[in-house]
Amino acid sequence: MFEVLTGTGLAASAGLNAYIPLLILGLLSRYSDLIDLPSGWTWLGNGWVIAIMAALLAVEMVADKVPVVDHINDVVQTVVRPTAGGLAFGAGSSSETVTVSDPGSFFSSHQWVPVVAGVLLALGMHLLKSAARPVINATTAGFGAPVASTAEDATSVVVSLAAILLPVLVLVFLVGLVVFTFWFVRRRSERRRERAAARAAGFRV
């Protein structure tokens, strides 16, 4: 159960920022005893991999805080974040992977299940983030982009650490996510109705 919560938290974090959960996994695996990655995922702790992820994270953090550029970045990240989510869920839930050495075993033993679960979780979080960002940019004339991005990065860090150190807290995050999603969808529906009513009033005039 805790392994599933860990994988879920890491995958959700990847939906906000692809590189934070993977970088945290790599750093903690390399420099601490807090996590012991399964054999198929030890490459995350490689020094070169950590350096590359740190560089990509720096680019992502800058691009995501600039209006318009953040939208382009979200389009690019539509592939990257779900992929990172699959990797994070697989590593965090201690699933082994033999996709290179024995692809047949990977699929026949259902080792692909946590990876696909992570992809779907990260994709869902990414789509929610991508839908919310244009609304934030429009209502704040772009000034909300860096604030929202910083909040997303901080959330990704906190949830990633919680998923590893205290997985039960992931449940709190999931409940909050459901509440936010419900509010956001309802708010968008209300705004559409308001715009439609305004247009109808304009036509009547």
Q: What is the pLDDT of residue 197?
A: 67
Does residue 13 form part of some domain? yes
Cα distances (Å, whole numbers) of residue 194 to 170, 171, 191: 36, 35, 5
Residue 156 lies in a domain: yes
CB 11 within 8 A of CB 85: yes
Nearest-10 crossing angle of helices 2-16, 69-92: 160
Quick check: helix, strand or coil at residue 17? coil
Residue 114, in any domain of the structure: yes
Termini Cα distance of the chain: 61
What was the pLDDT predicted at 96?
Answer: 41
Going by C-beta distance under 8 Å and a sequence separation of 6 or more, which residues neighbour residue 50? 23, 26, 27, 30, 44
Nearest in space to 79 (alpha carbons), one of 146, 40, 114, 126: 126
Q: How would you classify residue 110: left for phi > 0, otherwise alpha for psi between -120 and 50, otherwise beta?
A: left
Question: What is residue 94's predicted lDDT score, i.e. its pLDDT?
Answer: 57
Burial of 172 (0-12, 13-18, 19+ CB in 10 A): exposed
Classify residue 1 by its DSSP letter: -
| pLDDT reported for residue 155 | 87
Give whole-number Cα distances, 102 to 78, 95, 108, in Å.
28, 15, 10
Q: Is residue 25 part of a domain?
A: yes
Looking at the domain assignment, is residue 200 inside a domain? no
Mind listing the pLDDT tens digit of every residue in the chain (205 residues)?
A: 667 778 888 888 888 888 999 999 889 888 888 877 777 778 888 999 999 999 999 998 888 888 888 888 888 888 888 888 888 887 766 544 434 344 455 445 556 666 777 788 888 888 888 888 777 777 777 777 788 888 888 988 988 888 888 777 777 777 887 787 787 777 777 777 766 666 666 655 5
> Which pLDDT belongs to residue 111?
60
- Residue 185 is which amino acid? V
Whether 157 is in a domain gets the answer yes
- Give residue for tokens 């994988």: 7
Domains identified in the chain, total number: 1
Inside any domain, residue 119: yes
**Cα separation, 40 vs 23, whole angstroms:** 16
The 8-class DSSP code of residue 61 comes to H
pLDDT on residue 4? 75
Rounded Cα distance between 50 and 54, Å, is 6
Which range of residues forms the domain containing residue 131?
Answer: 2-168
Q: Is residue 104 situated within a structural domain?
A: yes
